[in-house]
Copies of this chain bind each other. A is one copy, B any other.
Amino acid sequence: MARWGGRARPAMQVPGPSVREAASMYGTAVAVFLVILVAALQGSAPAESPFPFHIPLDPEGTLELSWNVSYVQETVYFQLLVRELKAGVLFGMSDRGELENADLVVLWTDRDGAYFGDAWSDQKGQVHLDSQQDYQLLRAQRTPEGLYLLFKRPFGTCDPNDYLIEDGTVHLVYGLLEEPLQSLEAINTSSLHTGLQRVQLLKPNISQPALPVDTHTMEIRAPDVLIPGQVTTYWCHITELPDGFPRHHIVMYEPIVTEGNEALVHHMEVFQCAAEVESVPHFSGPCDSKMKPERLNYCRHVLAAWALGAKAFYYPEEAGLAFGGPGSSRFLRLEVHYHNPLVIRGRRDSSGIRLYYTAALRRFDAGIMELGLAYTPVMAIPPQETAFVLTGYCTDKCTQLALPPSGIHIFASQLHTHLTGRKVVTVLARDGREREIVNRDSHYSPHFQEIRMLKKVVSVHPGDVLITSCTYNTEDRRLATVGGFGILEEMCVNYVHYYPQTQLELCKSAADPGFLRKYFHLVNRFNSEEVCTCPQASVPEQFASVPWNSFSRDVLKALYGFAPISVHCNKSSAVRFQGEWNRQPLPEIVSRLEEPTPHCPASRAQSPAGPTVLSIGGGKG
Contacts and interface: CB of A to CB of B under 8 A. Distances in A.
Given A131-B602, A132-B604, A554-B554, 11 more contacts: A25-B44, A26-B36, A29-B37, A132-B605, A158-B158, A158-B159, A160-B597, A522-B525, A549-B562, A554-B558, A555-B555
Contacts of A40: 25-26, 29
A526 to B, nearest CB: 6
Interface of A: 22, 24-26, 29-30, 32-33, 36-37, 40, 44, 131-132, 158-161, 515, 518, 521-522, 525-526, 549-551, 554-555, 557-559, 561-563, 597-598, 600, 602-609
Give the 4 A-B CB pairs with smallest separation, nearest first. Answer: A554-B558, A551-B562, A29-B36, A33-B33
Nearest to A35: B29
A484 to B, nearest CB: 26
A586 to B, nearest CB: 9
Contact of A558 (B29, B160, B550): B550
A598 to B, nearest CB: 7
B602 A605 contact: no
14 contacts: A24-B602, A25-B44, A29-B33, A29-B37, A30-B605, A159-B600, A515-B526, A522-B525, A526-B562, A551-B558, A551-B559, A604-B605, A605-B607, A605-B608
Contacts of A597: 160-161
Contact of A606 (B26, B32, B549): B26
B551 A561 contact: yes
A24 B606 CA distance: 11
Contact of A554 (B549, B561, B605): B561
A380 B25 CA distance: 53
Contacts of A554: 554-555, 557-558, 561-562
A475 to B, nearest CB: 15
A492 to B, nearest CB: 20
Contacts of A598: 160
Contact of A555 (B30, B558, B563): B558
Contacts of A559: 551
Contacts of A558: 550-551, 554-555, 558
A88 to B, nearest CB: 25
| Most chain B beta-carbon neighbours within 10 Å: one of A40, A44, A561, A604 | A604
Contacts of A132: 600, 604-605
Contact of A562 (B158, B550, B609): B550
A19 B495 CA distance: 52
Given A25-B44, A159-B158, A526-B518, A609 B600 contact: no
